Amino acid sequence: MTERIIPIADARYDAGIPSVPARAYAPAGVLSDVRGRAVRDLRISVTDRCNFRCSYCMPRTVFGKDYRFLPHTSLLRFEEITRLVRIFAAHGVEKVRLTGGEPLLRRNLESLIEMLSAVRTVRDTPLELTLTTNASLLARKARALKAAGLQRVTVSLDALDDAIFREMNSVDFPVADVLAGIDAAAAAGLAPIKINMVVKRGVNDGEIVTMARRFRGSGHVLRFIEYMDVGASNGWRLDDVVPSAEVVRRIHEWFPLEPLAGGYFGEVAKRWRYADGSGEIGVISSVTQPFCASCTRARLSTEGKLFTCLFATAGHDLRALLRGDYSDDQISGALAHLWERRDDRYSEIRSDATRGLRRVEMSYIGG
Ligand code: SF4
């Protein structure tokens, strides 16, 4: 008899309503937390639904056919998302990443992208608008997304071998269609394209060099992500993690690599270039080389709850303020009040003691 795992959707609701400071708060274009990390990067989950069941994010045993996804009425409307993004931008946010679940499942997403592409940063420039997708719908939508104002995409692809791909994602979706989505995105000008591979020992680590060979010289940037203990349902074990140092070593044996300097404060990937000039790769090492010291990311759930860390156990209900009788200045003050007290550094403190924490699911707040 298979063990029935209780859906941990309940964790979605651990979100208090932020307090609104009595004094009006004028955003200063930069908003830093207790560790001096200024909020710069906002990740917005536009749906908690997905058509894949990646074992490290949305295992089928939890997100099965009886799983209750959020009703549409509880999702933030596009106008509400845009209003929040404008408030975040006034505090210095420059980059918005649309995530999910699978963001391309959200109907009329192009309309939201059009609205967001009109928002300006404090430097009076357009926001950097990106999206992370499993590419299952990308071939069909790439041109419309570009036309709406999207600048680039990140595609999740964990293997080139169909059987291994299926094992990682528990869906009968052919790799060829993901590759077609990548080609369509490139043809539409949604570049540079980043390709994210989550590496799990004993499952797809045999594909590391195969993936490097496939995308070397393609102009796309392949990034290897250490398998993480996100959420509370993927059965994470440290033994299943392939440290990034090992990933680099394996590739270097075939295609010599050289370290590249970091691009900007808050960049998650460590960059390496192929010595023969045929491009670069990245490694994202939340487990073995934490990068909390430069974490400038805030995450907004599909229902408008703010999470200040990917491994948070509770959020802050901004939707209640949006749908309450609060002005932008008041919401801006509440946001500042929250962020200024942020001291998240989960990856630095990950240990046996943190194992049992009921972390919010990645599929709910986006990667
Ligand atoms: S663990 Fe939390 S604080 Fe650290 S880098 Fe990840 S999201 Fe940021």
pLDDT for res 366: 85
Pairing of strands 128-133, 194-199: unpaired
Distances (CA, A) of 349 to 178, 313, 338: 36, 14, 21
How far is the centre of ligand 1, averaged over its atoms, from the C-alpha of 280 (Å)? 24
pLDDT for res 262: 82
86 residue type, one letter? R
Strand partners, 129: 96
Domain boundaries, the chain: 15-365
Sign of the Cα pseudo-torsion (88, 89, 94, 97, in order): positive
How far is the centre of ligand 1, averaged over its atoms, from the C-alpha of 169 (Å)? 25
How far is the centre of ligand 1, averaged over its atoms, from the C-alpha of 295 (Å)? 6
Q: How far is it, in rounded angstroms, from Cα 96 to Cα 131?
A: 8
Ligand 1 atom nearest to CA at 310 = 7
Assign 3-class secondary structure to the chain: CCCCCCCCHHHHHCEECCCCCCCCCCCCCCCECCCCCECCEEEEECCCCCCCCCCCCCCCCCCCCCCCCCCHHHCCCHHHHHHHHHHHHHCCCCEEEEECCCHHHCCCHHHHHHHHCCCECCCCCECEEEEEECCCCHHHHHHHHHHHCCCEEEEECCCCCHHHHHHHHCCCCCHHHHHHHHHHHHHHCCCCCEEEEEEECCCCHHHHHHHHHHHCCCCCEEEEEECCCCCCCCCCCHHHECCHHHHHHHHHHHCCEEECCCCCCCCCCEEEEECCCCCEEEEECCCCCCCHHHCCEEEECCCCEEECCCCCCCEEEHHHHHCCCCCHHHHHHHHHHHHCCCCCCHHHHCCHHHCCCCCCCHHHHCC
Q: Are 166 and 172 in contact (CB under 8 A)?
A: yes
Where does ligand 1 bind, in terms of residues with CB under 6 Å? 286, 291-292, 295, 297, 309-311, 344-347
pLDDT for res 12: 58
Closest CA to 30 of 90, 92, 95: 92
**Burial class of 208 by CB neighbour count within 10 A (0 to 12, 13 to 18, 19+):** buried
The predicted model scores a pTM of 0.94
Task: Name the architecture of domain 15-365.
Answer: Alpha-Beta Barrel (3.20)
pLDDT for res 354: 87
Closest C-alpha residue for ligand 1 atom 4: 292
Ligand 1 atom nearest to CA at 291 = 5
pLDDT along the chain (367 residues), means of 10: 44 79 86 97 97 94 91 95 98 98 97 98 97 98 98 98 92 94 98 97 98 98 97 93 98 98 90 97 97 97 96 95 94 96 96 87 89
Ligand 1 atom nearest to CA at 295 = 8
Q: Pocket of ligand 1, candidates 35, 43, 346, 349: which has the most ligand atoms within 8 Å of its Cβ, to mutate? A: 346
Q: Are 184 and 138 in contact (CB under 8 A)?
A: yes
Sign of the Cα pseudo-torsion (362, 365, 366, 367, in order): negative
How far is the centre of ligand 1, averaged over its atoms, from the C-alpha of 327 (Å)? 30
Q: Are 248 and 294 in contact (CB under 8 A)?
A: no
How far is the centre of ligand 1, averaged over its atoms, from the C-alpha of 242 (Å)? 19
pLDDT for res 3: 44
Q: Pocket of ligand 1, candidates 306, 311, 342, 354: which has the most ligand atoms within 8 Å of its Cβ, to mutate? A: 311
pLDDT for res 9: 44
How far is the centre of ligand 1, averaged over its atoms, from the C-alpha of 271 (Å)? 19
